[in-house]
C-alpha cells in the first residue's frame, strides 16, 4: 500500500461554539491509501482539546509509511492491530489510517464495508442536527435553516441553558438531545434533567467534567433523563468504567483510533447493557461516510459534521432530514472531489 497525506481547511457555515471553544475553520488530515489502482480515504480533524495537531498526526503516519509499503491489505482489523504499537500514542492518526484501510478494503472487494461486516441497512437510526451555542435568536435561526429535522442536538453549558431549550421548543416538535460538554455540576445536571424531560429532551450528553466519577454516579441515579458519556469514554477500556455511571456511551472514531476499536467498543457496550451512540467532529464527508458503516449497530447517531461546513472536499454518504443515504460506490463510498497537491 502507498500512503499519501493531505491537509485541508474546512470552512464552517457558522462559527461553531461549545462550552469550551469556538471555531470558524477546521483543519483536517486526509489519509489516502493506494493499492492496485484502488484508493481508500480516511480522515482525522485536528483538536486542541485532545492535543492533536496536523504535524503530530503526519509525523506518526510517517513512522509507518515503510511498513505499509511492504503490506498487502487483507483485513483492516489485522492491519490496525499490527500498527497499534507504533500508533497507540496518536489515535487520531490511527483513525484516519484505519478508515482509509476500510474504504480501500471495500473497494478492492467491490462491496460496501457494512455489507462485508454482515450488516443490513434496512433499519437505521436517524441522525440529529447540532446547534452550537450562540445568542438564543441565532440558535433559533440555525435550527430553522435546517427545518423539519426529526432530531436536534443542542449544545449547552451557558448560564441560561433552560431558557435556550424553552425558546427552541416554541418553534418545533422535534426530539431534542442536549450536550453540556462537561459544563455542569451534579446539582445542575439533576435539577436541569427534570425540566428538560418536560421539554421532550431524549438524553443528556456529558453533563460533568470527564473525571467526576463519583458525582456522575449520583447524577445517573437521580437524573430524570438518560446520561451518555462522551469526554468520559475515549478508548476501549473506558467502556467498562462507564457501567453504573452512565446509561450509554458516545464513541468518536478519532478518539478511539478508528472503525476497528469502535466496533470492539460497541460489542463490549452491548455486553454491559449500555446504549451506543457514535458522534462526529466537525469533519468532511470522508469521516462521515466511515461513521455511516456503523449505523446498523447503533441506537443513536450524530453524523451531521459535513452539514456544518461551507464547503466539502468529498462525495460519499449524504444526509437528508436525518436520513442517511449510501452512494453506489463500494468501501465507505468515498470519492475525493477537492484537488490535492
Ligand atoms: Mg459531545
Residue-wise pLDDT for 208-233, tens only, equals 999 999 999 999 999 999 999 999 99
Query: Higher model confidence: residue 17 or residue 279?
Result: 279
In the prediction, which pLDDT does 23 show? Answer: 86
Q: How far is the CA of 205 from the centre of ligand 1 (A)?
A: 6
Q: How far is the CA of 173 from the centre of ligand 1 (A)?
A: 23
The CATH T-level fold of domain 118-332 is TIM Barrel (3.20.20)
DSSP 115: H
C-beta atoms surrounding 222 within 10 Å:
14
Q: How far is the CA of 278 from the centre of ligand 1 (A)?
A: 10
In the prediction, which pLDDT does 193 show? Answer: 98
In the prediction, which pLDDT does 21 show? Answer: 77
Task: Provide, for the chain, the percentages of residues in helix, strand and coil under a 3-state DSSP scheme, each rounded to the nearest 5.
Answer: 40, 25, 35
Q: How far is the CA of 181 from the centre of ligand 1 (A)?
A: 6
Q: How far is the CA of 247 from the centre of ligand 1 (A)?
A: 15
Look at the block and give the residue holding cell 452512565: 246
Q: How far is the CA of 189 from the centre of ligand 1 (A)?
A: 15
Instruction: Determine contact, residues 277/250, Cβ cutoff 8 Å.
Output: yes
In the prediction, which pLDDT does 8 show? Answer: 97
DSSP string, 49-74: TTTB-HHHHHHHHHTTHHHHHH---S
In the prediction, which pLDDT does 49 show? Answer: 83
Q: How far is the CA of 36 from the centre of ligand 1 (A)?
A: 39
In the prediction, which pLDDT does 20 show? Answer: 75
Instruction: Determine contact, residues 61/42, Cβ cutoff 8 Å.
Output: no
**Per-residue pLDDT averaged across 309-334, rounded?**
97
Look at the block and give the residue holding cell 464527508: 285
Q: Which of 25, 12, 20 is nearest to 54 (CA)?
A: 25
pTM, two decimal places:
0.95
E strand map for 47-194: 129-131, 151-155, 175-179
Q: How far is the CA of 39 from the centre of ligand 1 (A)?
A: 31
Does residue 200 carry a pLDDT above 80? yes
Q: How far is the CA of 29 from the centre of ligand 1 (A)?
A: 21
Q: How far is the CA of 325 from the centre of ligand 1 (A)?
A: 24
In the prediction, which pLDDT does 340 show? Answer: 85
In the prediction, which pLDDT does 299 show? Answer: 98
Q: How far is the CA of 281 from the centre of ligand 1 (A)?
A: 9
Give the C-alpha separation, 194 to 217, whole Å: 17
E strand map for 230-338: 248-252, 275-279, 300-301, 314-315, 318-320, 323-325, 335-336
Give the C-alpha separation, 165 to 197, whole Å: 11
Domain boundaries, given as residue ranges, for the chain: 2-115, 118-332
Q: How large a percentage of the chain has pLDDT more than 70?
A: 100
Q: How far is the CA of 252 from the centre of ligand 1 (A)?
A: 9
In the prediction, which pLDDT does 18 show? Answer: 74
In the prediction, which pLDDT does 15 show? Answer: 85
Q: How far is the CA of 327 from the centre of ligand 1 (A)?
A: 27
Q: How far is the CA of 72 from the centre of ligand 1 (A)?
A: 36
In the prediction, which pLDDT does 320 show? Answer: 95
CATH code given to domain 2-115: 3.30.390.10
In the prediction, which pLDDT does 16 show? Answer: 79
Specify the long-range contacts of residues 123-126, CB closer than 8 Å, at least 24 apart: 123/296, 124/295, 124/296, 124/323, 124/324, 125/295, 125/298, 125/299, 125/300, 125/301, 126/150, 126/151, 126/301, 126/322, 126/323
Q: How far is the CA of 68 from the centre of ligand 1 (A)?
A: 33
Cα 141 to Cα 28, 98, 146, 213, 267, distances in angstroms = 27, 37, 9, 36, 39
Cα 117 to Cα 15, 98, 241, distances in angstroms = 37, 15, 27
Does residue 132 carry a pLDDT above 80? yes
Domain 118-332 in the same topology as domain 2-115 = no
- Between 19-28, 246-255, 318-327, the lowest mean confidence (pLDDT) is in 19-28
Q: How far is the CA of 296 from the centre of ligand 1 (A)?
A: 21
Q: How far is the CA of 179 from the centre of ligand 1 (A)?
A: 6
Amino acid at each position: 500500500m502507498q500512503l499519501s497525506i493531505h491537509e485541508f481547511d474546512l470552512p464552517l457555515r457558522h462559527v461553531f461554539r461549545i462550552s469550551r471553544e469556538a471555531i470558524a475553520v477546521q483543519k483536517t488530515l486526509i489519509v489516502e491509501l493506494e493499492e492496485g489502482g484502488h484508493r481508500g480515504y480516511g480522515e482525522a480533524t485536528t483538536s486542541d482539546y485532545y492535543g492533536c495537531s496536523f504535524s503530530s498526526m503526519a509525523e506518526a503516519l510517517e513512522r509507518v509509511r515503510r511498513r505499509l509499503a511492504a503490506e498487502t491489505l487483507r483485513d483492516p482489523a489485522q492491519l490496525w492491530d499490527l500498527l497499534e504499537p507504533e500508533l497507540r500514542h496518536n489515535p487520531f492518526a490511527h483513525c484516519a489510517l484505519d478508515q482509509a484501510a476500510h474504504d480501500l478494503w471495500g473497494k478492492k472487494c467491490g462491496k460496501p464495508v457494512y455489507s462485508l461486516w454482515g450488516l443490513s441497512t434496512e433499519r437505521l437510526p436517524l441522525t440529529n442536527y447540532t446547534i452550537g451555542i450562540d445568542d438564543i435568536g441565532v440558535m433559533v435561526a440555525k435550527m430553522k435553516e435546517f427545518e423539519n429535522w426529526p432530531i436536534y442536538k443542542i449544545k449547552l453549558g451557558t448560564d441560561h441553558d433552560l431558557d435556550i431549550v424553552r425558546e427552541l421548543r416554541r418553534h418545533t416538535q422535534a426530539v431534542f438531545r442536549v450536550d453540556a460538554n462537561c459544563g455542569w455540576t451534579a446539582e445542575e445536571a439533576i435539577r436541569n434533567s427534570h425540566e428538560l424531560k418536560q421539554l421532550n429532551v431524549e438524553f443528556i450528553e456529558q453533563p460533568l467534567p470527564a473525571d467526576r466519577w463519583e458525582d456522575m454516579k449520583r447524577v445517573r441515579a437521580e437524573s430524570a433523563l438518560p446520561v451518555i458519556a462522551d469526554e468520559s469514554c475515549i478508548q476501549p477500556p473506558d467502556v467498562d468504567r462507564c457501567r453504573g455511571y452512565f446509561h450509554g456511551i458516545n464513541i468518536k472514531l478519532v478518539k478511539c483510533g478508528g472503525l476497528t476499536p469502535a466496533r470492539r467498543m460497541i460489542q463490549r457496550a452491548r455486553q454491559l447493557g449500555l446504549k451506543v451512540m457514535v458522534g462526529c467532529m466537525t469533519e468532511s464527508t470522508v469521516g462521515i461516510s466511515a461513521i455511516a458503516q456503523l449505523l446498523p449497530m447503533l441506537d443513536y447517531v450524530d453524523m451531521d459534521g459535513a452539514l456544518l461546513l461551507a464547503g466539502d472536499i468529498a462525495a460519499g454518504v449524504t444526509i437528508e432530514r436525518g436520513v442517511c443515504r449510501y452512494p453506489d460506490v463500494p468501501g465507505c463510498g468515498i470519492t475525493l472531489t477537492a484537488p490535492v497537491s
